[in-house]
Chain A
Amino acid sequence: MANTYTPIIELTNVTYSDHEVPILKNITGSFPEGKITTLVGPSGAGKTTLFRLCNGLISPDKGDIVIKGKSIEDYEPTTLRRKIGLALQNATMISGSVYKNLSLPRTLQGELLDEETARELLLDVGLDSDFLHRNVKDLSGGQRQKVSIARTLVNQPKVLLLDEITSSLDRVSQQDIEELIVAVNKKYGTTIIWITHNLEQALSIGQYTWVMMAGELIESGESSLLKNPTDERVKVFVRGDME
């Protein structure tokens, strides 16, 4: 991707292995500040691992990650993770109520989340405010996913890393979330990086796209590249042959 934008996250030769199995190989690229970038590629491409690296849950074996001009290693880990919000596909909940889950980011800082703000967050993600005191074990997969997104927003992150957050949602809920994310991006200038298997979604929502395969960054640029990819592997992937 030619740098015609201000990068918020820059990766240089980032390599990561798990038990000597290479997961990410020499990744060099950047994500534009304040934009929505989608991350596409087949399973096993290393997309989620890339998110964990950016959130500081793991560190690269080699290479550098720079966030807002400062090496990731120079950030205090808790500060970094509040700035770089992460919502994973499995939407893990802590046992208890929806409110307890929404309050979690604040509780971790020794603060309280007032109920009014919690209700607004629920409405933002398309859930009725009477969900607030429901037990999370009574929620459907899609409802859990929505609570997970709302919870990530509590920290008001500068960057939102979203890992297939709409894959378990029905079409209407999917649209709600897409609208919410676009609104968050517009209203707060939050940078969005979104892993999706839905290429239609990548084209309609994302301004930029990364295509990853087998731990490598194959192509990156404006989302329109998905219509006219140059790399043969990407052409095959876009046609859906690799899924």
Chain B
Amino acid sequence: MTYLTLSLALIFVLIPIVLSKTLNLGLEKDTLIATVRSIIQLLAVGYVLQFVFDSEQPIYIILMIALMITAATQNARKKGASIKGITWKLVVTYLFVEILTQGILLGFQITPATPQYIIPISGMMIGNSMVLSILFLNRFTAEVESHQDETELILSLGGTPKQAIHKQLINSIQASTIPTIESQKTIGLVQLPGMMSGQIIAGADPVQAVQFQLLILFLLLTAAVVTSVMMGYLSYPALFNARMQMLKMRQKD
């Protein structure tokens, strides 16, 4: 695709802007910012990837992954600001997901140990983990807030913090992983995954593209469940102190 052809794609940016302007939706500014950012970010990533692929230095792969984890952490930590130590909990989770998935892929030689495979797959895993951790944190903080009375009841009867928060934890893990599982049930029927579509458009054999997509789907499943479970079990102790008292507990009377 030439840059000239790509510029014609901006028609697809104009359509929402015109609609927003006509219907007073107020989306013009955000649409423009999103467009400019995506152009700059993706072009920059394209050049960086080209450099990393050409150099074949493992240090650049590590740096790229570190950058992804930093950006994902920076984005997700705002959602868990009420949880003490949320930054390192997110870093540990993303790092674990990355090591686990790459460990299996490279360890069993499912994918070759080249930056062309490691970096895009890492990006998908860390990106997915970031979305999952945001979904989890949103749900978990809401669950904790709305079930404070139940938590307090269990503590007052001699339950441990883990017992007191168990229901909220399970609800949040389920709620955050269900979208991933549900979307996989209809995949191929409702929508063709972006990565597979991209490969087919680029001329790859569709069956091979499907095989690779399946691998990614299964990886995303692991990333989703591992992220939610890890975030859950790393986060809940921060809500209690050593005396098994709920921090910021609402007071009555």
Contact = CB atoms under 8 A, between A and B. Distances in A.
Contact of A81 (B158, B246, B249): B158
A105 B158 CA distance: 7
B157 A82 contact: yes
B245 A78 contact: no
Interface string B20-54: 00000000000000000000000000000000000
Contact of A79 (B154, B158, B251): B158
Name the residue in A55, A73, A92 with the highest tally of chain B Cβ atoms < 10 Å from its Cβ: A92
B245 A108 contact: no
A47 interface: yes
Given A58-B245, A82-B158, A92 B253 contact: no
Contact of B243 (A18, A46, A59, A86): A59
A152 B244 CA distance: 19
A18 B249 CA distance: 10
Given A18-B251, A23-B251, A77-B244, A57 B152 contact: yes
Name the residue in B157, B244, B252 with the highest tally of chain A Cβ atoms < 10 Å from its Cβ: B157
A47 B252 CA distance: 9
Nearest to B244: A77
A198 interface: no
A56 interface: yes
Interface in A76-101: 77-79, 81-82, 85-86, 88, 90, 92, 94
Interface in B214-253: 243-246, 249, 251-253
A43 B154 contact: no
B153 A94 contact: yes
B163 interface: yes
Interface string A161-192: 00000000000000000000000000000000
Contact of A57 (B150, B160, B163, B249): B249
Contact of A92 (B152, B159, B160, B163): B152
B245 A59 contact: yes
B155 interface: yes
Given A77-B244, A78-B244, A92-B150, A151 B253 contact: no
Contacts of A57: 152, 155-156, 245-246, 249
B253 A46 contact: yes
Given A77-B243, A108-B157, 5 more contacts: A23-B251, A57-B155, A73-B243, A77-B245, A86-B156
Closest 3 CB pairs of A and B: A48-B253, A82-B158, A77-B244
Interface of B: 149-150, 152-160, 163, 167, 243-246, 249, 251-253
26 contacts: A18-B251, A23-B251, A48-B252, A49-B251, A56-B244, A56-B245, A57-B156, A57-B245, A58-B245, A73-B243, A77-B243, A78-B158, A78-B160, A88-B153, A92-B150, A92-B153, A94-B150, A94-B153, A94-B154, A104-B157, A105-B158, A108-B154, A108-B158, A108-B163, A109-B158, A155-B157
